[in-house]
Structure 1
Amino acid sequence: MRKTLTTLTLAMALASGHALADQATLAAIQATGVQLTEAQAQALAVAQGDALAQAVAAVVAANPEAAASIVAAAIAAAPAQAASIVSAAVTAAPAQAAAIVTAAISVAPAQSVAITNAAVAAAPAQAAAINAAASTAGAAPAGATAGSTATVSNNPASSSGGGGGGNSETKPVTPPSDGGGPIASPN
């Protein structure tokens, strides 16, 4: 029955002239074992761009217990849509936000900051759990930029106006883990 449904969905997509780019997403989600309705399968097969994220979110909403595996499969098939898929999925199942973020980052670690920020924007009440999950999965905290650099100079300040001849090098900057920094107290 499932093969017939998939074949019919594929035939309909070919006949309607839609791009088949998201057949991979449909196949990946079906491979998780999640039972899709005919409407969900058809929506996934023909969806593109933001419509793909919304189609994935509909499947997540119907199967919140499998949200992490659904999102991981969708991002593996459509990595360019990772942030929008996470945003839509977290909106559809906010209680699963941490699991969704962990799964998404495991599939697309290079997009960890975008994934984390999209999840926090979709479910601000879950921000602490999302950031903890992202941190565990290897992401930078929300709002942090990966790969920041600063120039460090070994030139002492000179009052004579001369100067020159010092060392200058670029070193990576590590954001503080507590979110704060050396900020003077207003007291």
Structure 2
Amino acid sequence: MTRGSTLPSHRLPHLPGRLAIPALPEQSRTSPSPNSLATFNTAPPEDARHTLLTCLHSHRWSHRLTDHRPYPDLDSLLAASDEASYDLTAGDLAEALAGESLPVLPEDTYEAAHMALNAAHAAYEARFGHVFVICPDGIAPDEVLDHVLAGIRSRLTNDPEEERVVVAEELRRLARGRLAGAFSF
């Protein structure tokens, strides 16, 4: 581990061609099948937690959502997810951040974009000690890279407490989008 970091040293800081941008919908994490809300509501607790951990890698969050089943509809599950996300401690956030993957950029991305984002990501990790996360929901696919780079640059000016609040919100939004995707049919 790098001192003060929540990430293993093999993920810091130079990852050619790999960036901390969340998976776009077509790259989303896969959830165990079947993924209907009714199946989730009646699944054994361990299976339900496993499904939830594919959306956000926080054991506290997954236990809380599992313990409050059944959910009458997706909106109720999403509201419970939001509420549970707001209660995550610094340790819970570190656990969730450590579980975020670093997807590979499309092969046709210019080398300059790889270099700029890798440099910005390395600066972010050096400053805050964890992976950069941002939710791309609502961003056109051809604008995601610019959105991520702008986000990293603007958030580098945050103090650690401000950034912890932003990270918590981005993780909440990522979990919400992943849950919606997992239980949409």
Q: Smaller-chain TM-score range?
A: under 0.3
TM-score by length of 1: 0.26
Q: Which has the higher contact order (CA 8 A, sep 6+)?
A: 2
Rg bigger for which structure? 1
Q: Which protein has the bigger strand share?
A: 1
- Give the alignment's TM-score, normalised by structure 2: 0.26
